[in-house]
Structure 1
């Protein structure tokens, strides 16, 4: 019996020891994985972020950001088929954008773009989806907390530490001061270790006076050797008695850092590379101006009442935001202390072309994104870096683009020049020739009367809304074989001013928006590859027969809202060529008195809008074909605001529709 009890006790002891070791090992592994995740998530994403760490993301579906009705076309939207989101109806503003773009607060965000819609929220555009993360705050155990300006989480209130000494240090120390303190701490630690090593070398030599003992009497030197601690002795003892378990954890973390080859970031302080020796703390770096902030590698001075670009010396900084100030000029030496800038935002200032030095941007050898929206420029700045991939000069007063304006920008992919005074008379036909990589071009709200000449062959999306364009000639898109989206809404185009060979042979053109022009019928000779056709707000009275018959694989989205379509303008062959492919058909706000012919033959149709017409009756086979056994694919049918007497509708009128909740019949007009 005693032997059994002793055996059980030893077995329990072994299990407990093994469990403790496993728990310690798993704890180390979790710790290593946590730091690895933290480093990986902070590297590519936060290059332009104002918050640190996107750890837990939630998907924001298009239903939360896309307006139901947007007739003014004030914004562009990333097109996602609404069929993927049950219960979400299509919008009028449906022209797709480039794959991967997101819409947020009326602005197009490019794939991998990061922004902060609110002070404590960071969002990422990931292949058309908006992923957002809110900063999580750890609970504070102190009796009184306070939330500092520019911070998200409360901290313990300390009156002495928060007592203002200047405007810059009113509520929290400067991020530059924190960085200097961190660098100084590591430098002192390195000096201490060097001193310990030197002391060990000296101990091997007998009766050699230490540097601190030179000039001292021998008796004083002996008493110091007997009782006093030498400089660095205390640090060496602490080093020798370090916790072994903690030392192992530090070694594991260091190994992970070497593997990832990444400079970790803690808070708003830059950590120097682990290789020694560490350089001395830089001197003479001016503090940030009042109302400016530092987050990761971004300096933000948004609406900070600046009248000039502040003198900054910070090679670590990659992003500078000077939005909404009163800056009027950019001298040649403005960015000499920021050689590694990758993103520069100077939008909504008062910068003039004459106020920009000829070499103001020349030293920015890594600049990829430049935003100068909302200034007073009359010409594109000269000597722009060849590394630029995105250039925005919207809402200025540009009056000329000559042959040299965009020279050497062979990596530029996005160019936005909306809201200026550009036309075919002041834009050189060779102006866009150097842009070998340009895929996205916005020239809306200018004064063009024709399609700009000399568009680069690489162009994929072209936006020319709100101009004065009257015709589309055969040579307009001669060299743009990759073009995918063309937006020409709010112009003066008539269908007989569109040349028959203008775009019919385009093989990649999938989306055309001709809304709010002067069309009287659906244009002929549309591109063979067309999938989306938006003709909202014209004066279209008819859809010619076989107008979609030549398309492959076939038109999928047709929007004819707010026109003048009548029953005689649509017949059985109007939709020929699209019966197998048409998914969404908008015929609302027209003058139709009956259901158009051909609807039952549309085998792929999911969304049909016929509201706000003059329809009075719905016959049994106008929507559902009784000969078809299978259920209809129709998921949304709008018939409200007509003159239909709902009680007189045949019970078989909607028999093919799976759910009657998909049919909207109320309200109806009374006449």
Structure 2
């Protein structure tokens, strides 16, 4: 059996790599599915107290499981079968449907008919280019939709209102229309990197009404920080784009962000005061850009602990570039500052520059090689 995608939460590693599933039983780590297993394991109550029998949750009859698929505990796994369409006869009580790594080209209107209990749908790595506008109408409990690595040119319409997590990276989406996320008040996480999306492709108000915690639009064609993103964001990842500068108004409304990913861009300038609007910032990725100096304002970020500045053009580091003047100002010491692969003579940097660092091993210097 090939690897099965992990239904992860939106807690992402520091480099915010694209979603990756690893093993079939990793699904047991998912809170939602754990809850469903608890419900299944509870014995029923009869008129005279607990019943003496426990429902049989083993393998369903073979005629209730699509040919070639594996069905167990309301999980239907139909991955890696060469399917060209969604199989029929999927058990009505299915909560997780895995259709990844097939050759499905289209999601039709009645493909998920009757699957009102579906909690997670995995259609990653197919050839889907078309999704019927009513295909998801019956999925009233769907919370996780993974439809990455397909041939979609637009975000599917009429997404379930119950949706919490959408992963649609590595498609061919060039536009986010205003109305596509309407009514998705439960949406918490959107991963849509790897799409040829430009700033002009994001219509004004496209994210209105969303209360996202996590948003990733990496490996796209953005030349600046998109406007009017949800102000509820805790994590914003815009790495691997073409952003050239960060201006004050770019980040002013995102006061709750604690992890900001801007690595692998063309950033030369970060306007003074641009970072001051994010007092909760704990992790800042600015590696692999074209910065000539350490961004201003870092000493004022009381909770900042990790700063990636490696692979830039920094030639000088001042004694107050990272740490505030005076004691008791910074609430959390740095536990990671990367400065390697910069043309800075590290032997000239004063030791006091890192007076608010937890340990000397947290400083990553290195010889600069042109």
Q: What's the CA shift string for 1:247-297, capped at 9, x where partnerless?
A: xxxxxx877996699974442249xxxxxxxxxxxxxx9653432111211
Aligned partners of 1:310 and 1:294: how far apart in 2? 13
| Residue 414 (1) aligns with residue 189 (2) | yes
Matches within 5 A, 1:56-71: none
| Kept after mapping to 2: 8 A contact 1:312/1:337 | no
| Residue 517 (1) aligns with residue 314 (2) | no
Among candidates 468, 471, 484, match of residue 242 of structure 2: 468
Partner of 2:230: 456
Partner of 1:100: none
- Pair 1:363–1:263, CA change in 2 (3 A): farther
Aligned partners of 2:335 and 2:309: how far apart in 1? 14
Partner of 1:428: 203
Cα shift at 1:77: 6.5
Matches within 5 A, 1:255-266: 264-266=55-57
Aligned partners of 2:314 and 2:203: how far apart in 1? 35
Partner of 1:563: 342
Aligned partners of 2:51 and 2:353: how far apart in 1? 61
Aligned partners of 2:316 and 2:309: how far apart in 1? 12
Matches within 5 A, 1:359-374: 359-374=134-149
Matches within 5 A, 1:43-54: none
| Kept after mapping to 1: 8 A contact 2:335/2:358 | no
Partner of 1:477: 251
Q: What's the CA shift string for 1:510-532, capped at 9, x where partnerless?
A: 10011100022222222513111
Q: Which secondary structure does the structure 1 equivalent of 2:199 belong to?
A: coil
- Pair 1:453–1:585, CA change in 2 (3 A): same
TM-score by length of 1: 0.47
Cα shift at 1:533: 0.4
Cα shift at 1:405: 1.3
- Pair 1:466–1:567, CA change in 2 (3 A): closer
Q: What's the CA shift string for 1:546-573, capped at 9, x where partnerless?
A: 1123362243321112222214651244
Partner of 2:163: 388
| Residue 589 (1) aligns with residue 367 (2) | yes
| Kept after mapping to 2: 8 A contact 1:323/1:346 | yes
Q: Which secondary structure does the structure 1 equivalent of 2:136 belong to?
A: coil
Aligned partners of 1:403 and 1:262: how far apart in 2? 52
Q: What's the CA shift string for 1:20-56, capped at 9, x where partnerless?
A: xxxxxxxxxxxxxxxxxxxxxxxxxxxx999xxxxxx
| Kept after mapping to 1: 8 A contact 2:197/2:222 | yes
Among candidates 539, 546, 554, match of residue 313 of structure 2: 539
| Kept after mapping to 2: 8 A contact 1:386/1:409 | yes
| Residue 503 (1) aligns with residue 275 (2) | yes
Among candidates 81, 84, 88, match of residue 304 of structure 1: 81
- Pair 1:454–1:126, CA change in 2 (3 A): same
Query: RMSD over aligned Cα, in angstroms?
Result: 3.2
Among candidates 241, 256, 263, match of residue 489 of structure 1: 263
Greater Cα radius of gyration, structure 1 or 2: 1
Q: Which secondary structure does the structure 2 equivalent of 1:425 belong to?
A: helix
- The count of residues paired between Structure 1 and Structure 2 equals 343
- Pair 1:255–1:588, CA change in 2 (3 A): same
Q: Which secondary structure does the structure 1 equivalent of 2:106 belong to?
A: coil
Matches within 5 A, 1:59-208: 78=13, 95=14, 117=23, 122=26, 124-125=28-29
- Pair 1:449–1:384, CA change in 2 (3 A): same
| Kept after mapping to 1: 8 A contact 2:287/2:310 | yes
| Kept after mapping to 2: 8 A contact 1:265/1:296 | no
Give ranges in structure 1 of 5+ residues lacking alignment: 1-47, 51-75, 79-94, 98-105, 110-114, 128-252, 271-284, 592-671
Cα shift at 1:374: 0.8
| Residue 268 (1) aligns with residue 59 (2) | yes
| Kept after mapping to 1: 8 A contact 2:311/2:342 | yes
Partner of 2:96: 319
Aligned partners of 2:89 and 2:122: how far apart in 1? 15
Structure 1, 554-563 or 368-377: larger mean CA deviation: 554-563
| Kept after mapping to 2: 8 A contact 1:444/1:464 | yes
| Kept after mapping to 2: 8 A contact 1:547/1:575 | no
Aligned partners of 1:350 and 1:402: how far apart in 2? 23
Q: Which secondary structure does the structure 2 equivalent of 1:574 belong to?
A: helix
- Pair 1:541–1:117, CA change in 2 (3 A): same
Aligned partners of 1:347 and 1:558: how far apart in 2? 36
Partner of 2:40: none
- Pair 1:341–1:561, CA change in 2 (3 A): same
Q: What's the CA shift string for 1:206-225, capped at 9, x where partnerless?
A: xxxxxxxxxxxxxxxxxxxx
